[in-house]
Amino acid sequence: MTDSGPAKQVYHTLDCIGLYCPMPVLKTREEMDRIAVGEVLEVLADDSAAEPDLRAWAKRTGQQILKVEKTSEGLRFLIFKSK
pLDDT in tens, 1-14: 333 344 468 889 99
Q: Which of 10, 19, 21, 23 is catalytic?
A: 21
- Cα separation of 70 and 31, whole Å? 22
| Closest to 30 measured CA to CA, from 46, 47, 43 | 43
Q: What is the pLDDT of residues 28-43, one digit of tens each?
A: 999 999 999 999 999 9
| Domain 10-80: top CATH class | alpha beta
Q: What's the whole-number average pLDDT of the chain?
A: 91
All structural domains of the chain with their residue ranges: 10-80
- Cα separation of 59 and 75, whole Å? 19
Can you give the pTM of this predicted structure?
0.87
> Is 21 among the catalytic positions?
yes
